[in-house]
Amino acid sequence: MTNDRIFNFSAGPSMLPLSVLETAASEMTNYKGSGMSVMEMSHRSKVYQSIFDETKANFKRIFHVPDTHEILFMQGGATFQFAAVPLNLMGENGTADYAITGNFSKIASKEASKYGKVNIACDSSDRNHTYIPAQEDLKLTPDASYFHYCANNTIYGTEWKYVPDTGSVPLVCDMSSNFLSKPVDVSKYGIIYGGVQKNMAPAGMAVVIIDKSLAGHELPITPKIMNYQTAIDKDSMDNTPPCYTIYMLGLVLKWLDSQGGVEGMEKIKSKKAGILYDMLDNSKMFKAIADKEARSDMNVTFRTGDEELDAKFIKAATEAGFANLKGHRLAGGMRASIYNAMPMEGVEKLADFMREFEKNN
Ligand SMILES: *Cc1c(COP(=O)(O)O)cnc(C)c1O
């Protein structure tokens, strides 16, 4: 079962830890003597409730979520939150600041502009999102309802290395592609959210961590299914939650514990990214696309400068068992997504393969 797996560098959905998949497989038809699959359980049953509670408690412990904040599991992925955030937070002030550092933050800002005024606090599109603007370059609205940014730009391979200082304006962060890859001071944030299919679980939901004091001020048109206060009051079970995805998140969190939690993961992911960036910095053929100071540890974007050679490399890499290295069409070149579940070995072997390819071409 194990030896036919390849190194999958997909940007998402992406690799899950092998041990997690094996546990899920072993529990597939009969979860711990319940006589049924987790997929077949009522979300109101005792056995499912214990899976849910344990998963939420482990998330809170591992990610150090303070008691001021609530953890929500909501269907619809990160894109659902692009609408839920403004609907719940735009409030009476009606203005929100958005930092545009890539495609997803741009989509989020467009969605928000349906529900209020959006002020573009910064926009890195002048250099095709290869950098992250500095704090002093953020144009902030002093009384904005919130400030929204995307911590890791999945398509362009850049990552914020600082937490923006917005004074008393609540920080809202899309962490879809670097959630649980390092410790975060959650108390600094009004909301952290992310689709789970990059670093946490199979697709089908977002994890939302919300400062409880921000809920309950939603616009009157807010659909009930998007209302954070309802989700808090009903503990994410106003309707059927994505039961199996939550179970899988629970298994991933147990695996994360075995890796030293987010503190352990930070060391591992820095080492993995370092292997690839060192390779790129020492290569005459391959070049990293993002500015050095803004490089993402999750999505490593690079190119040769010659589109034909890029295509040749992608083809050869695919044949050698390194899948999904083609860059997003907006960024071009190649992208190696090396989320938490990518083994060290996958990164080392890819770097070796790139050196070999360079020698032969
Ligand atoms: C993948 C991704 C999204 C979109 O997530 P969905 O769950 O498909 O809606 C949004 N933001 C970022 C940063 C992403 O990487």
Residue appearing with tokens 């616009």 = 219
Q: What is the DSSP letter of 359?
A: H
pLDDT tops 90 at residue 196: yes
> Which of 79, 112, 88 lies closest to 205, judged by CA?
79
Residue 2 has a pLDDT of: 52
Q: Relative to the CA of 197, which ligand 1 atom is closest?
A: 7
157 Cβ inside 6 Å of ligand 1: no
* Percentage, residues of the chain above pLDDT 70: 99
Residue 287 CB contacts under 8 Å (≥ 6 apart), including other chains? 280, 302, 303, 304, 305
Q: What is the mean pLDDT of residues 257-273?
A: 98
> Whole-number mean pLDDT of the chain?
97
Q: Ligand 1 mean position to 309 CA, how many Å?
A: 29
133 Cβ inside 6 Å of ligand 1: no
Q: Ligand 1 mean position to 77 CA, how many Å?
A: 7
Q: Relative to the CA of 195, which ligand 1 atom is closest?
A: 7
pLDDT tops 60 at residue 341: yes
The maximal CA–CA distance of the chain, rounded, in angstroms, is 63
205 Cβ inside 6 Å of ligand 1: no
Residue 275 has a pLDDT of: 98
177 Cβ inside 6 Å of ligand 1: yes
Residue 3 has a pLDDT of: 65
Residue 92 has a pLDDT of: 74
- What is the residue with the minimal CA distance to atom 2 of ligand 1? 176
Q: What is the mean pLDDT of residues 32-60?
A: 98
174 Cβ inside 6 Å of ligand 1: yes
3-state SS of 128-167 is CCCCCCCHHHCCCCCCCCCEEEECEECCCCEECCCCCCCC
Q: Tell me, what amino acid is at 357?
A: F
* Percentage, residues of the chain above pLDDT 90: 98
Tokens in use for 126?
A: 């002048």
Q: Ligand 1 mean position to 357 CA, how many Å?
A: 32
Q: What is the mean pLDDT of residues 112-117?
A: 98
pTM to 2 decimal places: 0.98
Determine the Cα–Cα distance for residues 12 and 200; give it in Å rounded to an integer. Answer: 11
Residue appearing with tokens 């393969």 = 353
* pLDDT tens-place string over residues 224-256: 999 999 999 999 999 999 999 999 999 999 999
Query: Which range among 4-8, 205-209, 289-293 shows the weakest confidence by mean pLDDT?
Result: 4-8
Residue appearing with tokens 């960036």 = 277
Tokens in use for 283?
A: 């290569």
Q: What is the mean pLDDT of residues 1-12?
A: 85
Beta-bridge mates of residue 191: 172, 210
Residue 39 has a pLDDT of: 98
Beta-bridge mates of residue 168: none
- What is the residue with the minimal CA distance to atom 7 of ligand 1? 77
Pocket test residue of 14, 149, 177 for ligand 1, highest count of atoms within 8 A of CB: 177
Q: Relative to the CA of 78, which ligand 1 atom is closest?
A: 9
351 Cβ inside 6 Å of ligand 1: no
333 Cβ inside 6 Å of ligand 1: no
- What is the SS3 assignment for 192? strand
Query: Which range among 85-94, 168-177, 228-237, 287-296 shows the weakest confidence by mean pLDDT?
Result: 85-94
Residues 158, 295 contacting (CB under 8 angstroms):
yes
Q: What is the mean pLDDT of residues 23-34?
A: 98
Q: CA angle, 142 as apex, 139 and 145 as ends, to 5°?
A: 100
pLDDT tops 70 at residue 299: yes
Residue 1 has a pLDDT of: 44
- What is the residue with the minimal CA distance to atom 4 of ligand 1? 78
Q: Relative to the CA of 196, which ligand 1 atom is closest?
A: 7
Q: CA angle, 76 as apex, 185 and 242 as ends, to 5°?
A: 90
